[in-house]
Amino acid sequence: MQKTRLDTARIRAARQVIDPVFLDTPLYRCEALEPGLGCTVSIKLETANPVRSFKARGTEVVASLLAENGSRDVVCASAGNLGQALAWSGRGRGLEVTVVASRFATVAKLDRIRALGARLELVDGDHEMARERAAAIARCDGIRLVEDSLDIETCEGAATIGLELADTAPSFDAVLIALGGGALATGVGHVVKAMAPEVEVICVQPLGAPAMTHSWRRRRVVTTDSTNTIADGVAGRRPIPAVLDDLLLVADDAVLVQEASIIAGMRMLLDHAGLVVEPSAALGIAAILADRDRFAGRHVVTIVCGSNVDVDAYHHWVGAAPVHRS
């Protein structure tokens, strides 16, 4: 395999600085999902931790390095999950964390960022505008800007999930990974391709936020003017060139799924697995639902990457209670 920006030795070392509360998350076969999907399904559950997403694996590495270097101030842009994770990691190391987010972001995520002690600044635009504002703050104040997916620590922290898959999972045929900025996909993809190259790495993105998938398919950065998806955690418009270069080396495929499939995936995870997840975390199940023939008879691992969801919105999408089908 050609070299990505990631380094497997650094990824292994990252496990030593990440709080164990974020490591060795549950990995299990979910037989209840299988009749409706037509394949063997294992879940890697990245929601059973204090920030309810995988993002803290990366922010733990970032915050550890900042603390070592004597830095105290840091800023990031976030759709919600990265901001929570950086606030949690920074709080434990005495860092002053500023998070810039869209005022249209999920309220529950914004409330949790504040509760974790970070300074929260809201912009009247989408995540890309938040990225621009965070970069301006970093320049003006001379502080560290954490850019998710561009900063290698965010990718290598996420890549520790790949180590756990390769070290503990029974043999599987494919891993389905939510694709947004690319930290999760490039991190896990790097490790899987290094340690189990026969496993198919499939990235999944909403049809309403397709920029990275289009970029992967055309092998060049493709931007979009807007996004239209409930999966706010992956709703970027401007892929980062260096991240795309990594993705091109580790992803076997990138697929787009419709909103109806995402909602159906969320409902299946509630109904058959007892899991309340945010839309981004259901993308893997949505991909199977959208193309059952492709996965028929195979063993698929899907990473359930976050569960920070607005309760009212969730009930609107999937209903207030599970439906038990005969």
Secondary structure of 204-223 as H, E, C letters: EEECCCCHHHHHHHHCCCCC
pTM listed for this prediction: 0.95
Reduced to 3 states (helix: H, G, I; strand: E, B; else coil), residue 233 is helix
Render each residue's pLDDT in the chain as its tens digit; 326 residues.
Answer: 579 999 999 999 999 999 999 999 999 999 999 999 999 999 999 999 999 999 999 999 999 999 999 989 999 999 999 999 999 999 999 999 999 999 999 999 999 999 999 999 999 999 999 999 999 999 999 999 999 999 999 999 999 999 999 987 668 999 999 999 999 999 999 999 999 999 999 999 999 999 999 999 999 999 999 999 999 999 999 999 999 999 999 999 999 999 999 999 999 999 999 999 999 999 999 999 999 999 999 999 999 999 999 999 999 999 854 444 43
Residue ranges of alpha helices (H) inside 142-282 are: 152-168, 183-195, 211-218, 241-250, 259-273
**Length of the chain, in residues:** 326
